[in-house]
Chains A and B, each alone.
Chain A
Amino acid sequence: MKFESDVVIGMEVHVQLNTKTKLFCSCPTQGSEEPNSRCCPVCLGMPGSKPVLNKQALNYAIKLALSLGCEISPELIFSRKSYFYPDLAKNYQISQYEIPLGIKGKISIEGKDIGITRVHMEEDPAALVHPEGMAKSNYVLIDYNRSGNPLCEVVTEPDLTSPGQAREFMKNLISVLNYLKIFDIDTCIIKADANISIKEKDYTRVEIKNITGFKEIERALNYEIERQKREDVVLETRAWDAEAGITISMRKKETEEEYGYIIDPDLTVTTITDEMVEKIKVDMPELAREKALRFVESHKIRKEDAFVIAQQRELANLFEIAVKKVPAKLAVAWVRHELNRVLNYNKKSLEQVKLDEKEFIKLLELIDKKEVTENVAKKILEKLIEKTFDVEKYIDENKLRAVSNSDELEEICKKAIENSEKAVQDYKSGNEKALQFIVGQVMRETRGAASPQVVIEIIKKII
């Protein structure tokens, strides 16, 4: 492979699918967090037990592969990946080797396409607890609740060229997963391994494991780039220690790990027919890209705005309802910018907040009809995020309705001018800023319900 950029990154992301039961047994994936309380002979690897594939996990995996633009394999074949580790119930992981579920896909991040080499299914190992930290413990504690959870592994081409891009990639991937409703960010786990190399060190590749969540990605990769610049770089696997903020060497990779793959003889080859794929496609939400283009076509909004809104299913829904009641420009401003601003400030996602659609739309209508100023509306939205309430009632109770009645407003302005002799003098002698003082008075009097521009005009007229 010929590389040119300073930094080359490829990602392998493991996503836990949001099914009710594990991949090869009927143990629940959610529920008690007491250790070893959601296990059975299959996920404990007890002698005599046998795996049976979860239909829903297959559906979800196909959905993911389709939405990443992959070609779907007509046959689903599982293999045994053999290696010994305390977190493996059978000392082999049922995974896919020869022919993955999906190949040759892509995902867009701002400005470029990232190639998806493969999407495949596999089971999760158990969870290890190191009683005194990973390096110091003499033994580990093993909890098999997680053992057997259904995972999808998404592998990218080494197309990413910065930690920022890696983070963008993860964010977009999570967005797609949420969109398809096959992943629950509150309960499902997403883990990433990254392969990273730098030009300075001849693109000698290091694998970084154990990165949980997209917030850690940038931190881990930034650290590793600096480390690679400082130290000698060898072909190896390192683990990211989030607490310490460093990567630790796990094992040298002079040779590839010997996995001794065989096709799992306890499972049958699953035929994926065209009909099955079509049925899943029909059941899938209109994919983000198509939706975005439709928004641009129907509502004449900017392409960039359309893509951002379409990426998140809930946001797109909200936008579609809004645009029936208010002009597209307003809908975009409030759905894309204002709503996101408030959500980001509170570090929440739209799904988590359960925004009352009706009240939100009503707010937009009021803004459109100029019955409430933008400033007031912003504050109302901040409150609406926390708890739902009757927006109209709130406005009336707190006298926040925009004072657009000119007479009433003129009265208030006159009063304010009378109370601000000095400011008026200053203004008349050329200090524009003095006007703001008078405007401030009016705003206080109207509790922000007046439009600042209108107030300025009236004051100027009077003076």
Chain B
Amino acid sequence: MNILWGQKHFKMNLQELNQNYNCFNIIEELKEKEEGKLSGYQISVKDCICVKGMESTAGSAILKGYKPLFHATAVQKVLDEGCKIIGKTSQDEFGFGSFSMNVGIGYKQPLNPVDKQRVTGGSSGGSGCAVKLIEDKHVSLGESTGGSIVCPAAYCGIVGLCPTYGRVSRYGLLDYGNSLDKIGPMARTVEDCAKVLKIIAGYDPKDSTSLNEPVDDYESFLKKGVKGLKIGLVKESLDVDEEVKAEFMKTIESLKEKGAIVEQVSLPLTFKYGIEVYYIIALSEVSTNLSKYCGIRYGAEEKPEGSFNEYFAKVRSKNFGEEAKRRIMLGTFARMSGFRDAYYIKAAKVRTLIIQEYKKLFEHYDVLVTPTMPNVAPKTEDVKKLTPLQNYMMDVLTVGPNLAGLPHISVPIGDDLPVGFLVIGDHLQEGKIIQVADEV
């Protein structure tokens, strides 16, 4: 396998690579067909996406040993096009993090390929890392709930595309926030992302929230240029670290030179309340999704002693990590009677207003742009000092499009440490964001 390691090219096998970077939870090969549009491609799959017969744990000890009896629809689709699956990439437990540091009990944190002292970003950290390192034709299927595709893409210096909610089937995705989760491609080029998206997108009757809309020919949007396109630069997103802002503005200038019309726009509601609304909804949903993990039908189990409440509490407390427990507690609280109106229901209503805020802008602009993250990949030791709330606040630039279910793509800019340039489109406008991303 061809690896780019510390800016030098090596031939190395995956096991050796993984020993250094922890980007895979499982290294295992699977191929079902020889011929197809992805013949010759390797695909790694984020651990929370089911591959039949391959251990899929969403990075959690509570699902150790779970080997799904079915492929996720997205996985079946890429296998049908002749690719080879090479393994499951590491992640924050159940997607609970922006740095891939909240790995489950017994799992290892993936390390940033550009600088091992730094984090990969999360929660699709393993995917971000693997894509940066593996030079051979390789794309990773990542997953995003609040920014988990584009954040590691930004920190690792690769391309990450998160499609419209419902564009890619969620069947076979281990749920975090059912109304927020999306599967999307992560790759070294915009072209590869477009290619894989075309294959995994489409209506799936097994997923009730799947969009029944025709799939565009995304590759036809490459090399179209940006002349005449109206781009909205979200002014609230400029409140970021200097090095990020500098790179971001350089890219803006370059797009202007290529003929794009750039104007400043504002998303006041989204930036003031987006994080709170996102977390309340995501945690309310996930605290119910995680209830099924109780040691009975799959995953970690104990001897069935004691009453059922004692048994469930034992299995869950032993196998959930600290962040998972915290999020379950917050989510349970947000939907308890007495608090439900003020948190869960209120957040869902404010979400409607946030979506409306974006939709209004898209009446006048083709795409919106922001930096992907407010900083470059931080050092692991610095992240350890953050409180949970400070962790959550890092998602300030990505929760908006995720809450609104809008397609968005992060493209790497910057020479030194990677910076992400985020392009956001209206629902089902993956083509347009690919078009702009290709010019970055």
Quick check: do A and B touch in the complex, using CB within 8 A? Answer: yes
Min CB distance, B227 to chain A, in Å?
Answer: 39
Tell me if A48 is interfacial: C-beta within 8 Å of chain B: yes
With A47-B63, A84-B312, A85-B308 as known contacts, state yes or no: A265 contacts B285, CB within 8 Å: yes
Taking CB atoms and an 8 Å cut-off, the chain B residues in 23-70 that contact chain A are 49-50, 56, 58, 63, 66, 68-70
A260's partner among B68, B170, B174, B288 (CB-CB below 8 A) is B288
Flag the segment in A49-57, A411-419, A420-428 that touches B.
Answer: A49-57
Closest partner residue, chain B, to A270 (CB atom): B208
Interface presence of A146 (CB below 8 A): no
Given contacts A48-B174, A258-B336, A260-B336, contact A53 B208 (CB under 8 A): yes
Binary interface encoding of chain B residues 163-186 relative to chain A, with 1 for a CB under 8 A from any of its CBs, else 0: 000000011111101110000000
Stretch among A38-46, A301-309, A390-398 lining the B interface = A38-46
Q: How far is the CA of A265 from the CA of B175 in the complex (A)?
A: 11
Q: Which residues from 266 to 284 on chain A have a C-beta closer than 8 Å to any C-beta of chain B?
A: 266-268
A92-B288, A260-B335 known; A84-B178 Cβ under 8 A:
no
With a cutoff of 8 Å between Cβ atoms, the chain A residues found around residue B288 in the complex are 80, 82, 92, 260, 262
Interface centre among B56, B206, B209, B336 (most CB of A within 10 A): B206
CB distance from A180 to the nearest CB of B (A): 27
Q: Nearest chain A CB to B70's CB is how many angstroms away?
A: 6
Contact with A265, one of B69, B171, B179 (Cβ below 8 angstroms): B179
Binding site for A on B (CB under 8 A): 49-50, 56, 58, 63, 66, 68-70, 72, 170-175, 177-179, 205-209, 284-285, 287-288, 291-294, 296-298, 304-305, 308-309, 312, 332, 335-337, 340, 344
Q: Which residue of B lies closest to A85 (CB)?
A: B308
A262 to B286, CA, bound (A): 11
What per-residue 1/0 map shows which CB atoms of A64-98 lie under 8 Å from chain B? 00000000000000001010111001111000000
A85 to B291, CA, bound (A): 11
Closest to A259 in B: B337
Whether B66 contacts A82 by the Cβ 8 Å rule is no
Kindly list chain B residues whose C-beta atoms are within 8 Å of the C-beta of A49.
Answer: 70, 171
In the complex, whether A389 has a CB less than 8 A from a CB of chain B is no
* A44 (CB) vs chain B CBs: closest residue: B297
User: How far apart sit A53 and B72, CA to CA, in the bound complex (Å)?
Assistant: 20
Establish whether residues A46 and B305, one from each chain, have CB atoms under 8 Å apart when the complex forms. Answer: no
Q: In whole angstroms, what is the CA distance A260 to B337 when docked?
A: 6
Is B292 in contact with A45, judged by CB distance below 8 angstroms? yes
Complexed CA–CA distance, A274 and B304 (Å): 51
Task: Tell me the complex Cα distance, A47–B293, Å.
Answer: 9
Contact of B178 among A90, A139, A266 (CB under 8 A): A266
Q: Which residues of A contact B335 (CB under 8 A)?
A: 260-262
Instruction: Please name all residues of chain A whose beta carbon is closer than 8 Å to the beta carbon of B336 when the two chains form the complex.
Output: 258, 260
| Set of chain B residues within 8 Å of A258, measured between Cβ atoms | 336-337
Assess whether A256 is interfacial by the CB under 8 Å rule: yes
Which residue from chain A places its CB closest to the CB of B177 in the assembled complex? Answer: A265
CB-defined A-B contacts under 8 Å, sample of 23: A41-B68, A47-B56, A47-B175, A48-B49, A48-B50, A48-B68, A49-B70, A49-B171, A84-B291, A89-B292, A90-B292, A91-B292, A91-B294, A138-B305, A258-B337, A260-B288, A260-B336, A262-B288, A265-B179, A265-B209, A266-B209, A267-B208, A268-B209
Most buried by B among A48, A82, A85, A92: A48
Whether A142 is near chain B, meaning CB under 8 Å from some CB there, is yes
CB contact between B208 and one of A82, A259, A266 (< 8 Å): that residue: A266
Kindly supply a per-residue 1/0 record for chain A positions 248-263, scoring 1 wherever the CB is within 8 Å of any chain B CB and 0 otherwise: 0000000010111110
> Once bound together, how far apart are the Cα atoms of A260 and B294, in whole Å?
18
The range of chain A's interface size is 20 to 34
Name the B residues within 8 Å of A260 (CB-CB). 287-288, 332, 335-337, 340
**Which partner residue on chain A sits nearest B303 by CB separation?**
A139
A256 to B312, CA, bound (A): 21
* Interface core residue of A80, A258, A265 (most chain B CB under 10 Å): A265
Beyond the given A47-B58, A260-B335, please list 5 additional residue pairs across the A-B interface where CB-CB is below 8 A: A41-B68, A44-B297, A51-B208, A52-B205, A266-B208
* Given A46-B69, A50-B171, A265-B285, residue A84 in contact with residue B294 (CB < 8 A): yes
With A91-B292, A262-B288 in contact, do A47 and B208 touch (Cβ < 8 Å)?
Answer: no
B161 to nearest A CB, angstroms?
22
Question: Which A residue sits closest to B68, measured CB to CB?
Answer: A48
Report the minimal beta-carbon distance from A220 to chain B, rounded to whole angstroms: 25
Of the candidates A46, A91, A138, A266, which one forms a contact with B291 in the assembled complex, judged by CB atoms under 8 Å apart?
Answer: A91
Q: Which 8 A-B pairs have the closest CB atoms?
A: A91-B291, A265-B178, A265-B179, A48-B50, A260-B335, A90-B292, A48-B172, A47-B174
A86, A256, A259: the one within 8 Å of B296 (CB) = A86
Residue of A nearest to B333 (CB): A260
Judging by beta carbons under 8 Å apart, are B304 and A139 in contact?
Answer: yes
Quote the shortest CB–CB distance from B280 to chain A (angstroms). 11
**Assuming the A-B contacts A47-B174, A48-B171, A50-B207, are A41 and B291 also in contact, with contact meaning beta carbons closer than 8 angstroms in the complex?**
no
CA distance A216 to B255 in the complex (A): 77
A135 to chain B, nearest CB (A): 13
Contacts of A265 in B (CB 8 A): 177-179, 209, 285
Neighbouring B residues of A268 by C-beta, 8 Å:
208-209
Contact between chains at A47 and B292 (CB < 8 Å): yes
Complex Cα–Cα for A139 and B301 (A) = 14
Task: Tell me which of B56, B68, B291 has the highest count of chain A C-beta atoms within 10 A of its own C-beta.
Answer: B291
CA–CA, A262 and B291, complex, Å: 13
The CA-CA distance from A334 to B178 in the complex, in Å, is 60
Q: Are B296 and A142 in contact (CB under 8 A)?
A: yes
Most buried by A among B287, B288, B312, B344: B288
Q: Is the CB of B291 within 8 A of A92?
A: yes
Residues of B within 8 A of A91 (CB): 291-292, 294, 312
B287 surroundings in chain A (CB, below 8 A): 260
Q: Which residues of A contact B58 (CB under 8 A)?
A: 47
* Chain A residue nearest to B50 in the complex (CB): A48
- When the two chains form their complex, are residues B50 and A47 in contact, meaning their CB atoms are under 8 A apart? yes
In the bound complex, what is the Cα–Cα distance between A49 and B171 (angstroms)?
6
Say yes or no: A89 contacts B174, CB within 8 Å.
no
Name the distance in Å between A175's Cβ and chain B's nearest Cβ.
35
CB proximity of B315 to chain A, nearest CB, Å = 11
A261 and B340: CB pair below 8 A? yes
Contact A50 B284 (CB under 8 A): no
A422, chain B: closest CB distance, angstroms: 81
A267 to B171, CA, bound (A): 13
Kindly list chain A residues whose C-beta atoms are within 8 Å of the C-beta of B209: 50, 265-268
- How distant is the Cα of A138 from the Cα of B307 in the complex, in angstroms? 8
A86 to chain B, nearest CB (A): 5
The residue that A41 contacts in the complex, of B69, B207, B308, with Cβ under 8 A, is B69
Q: Write out the residue numbers on chain A whose beta carbons fall within 8 Å of the beta carbon of B308.
A: 84-86
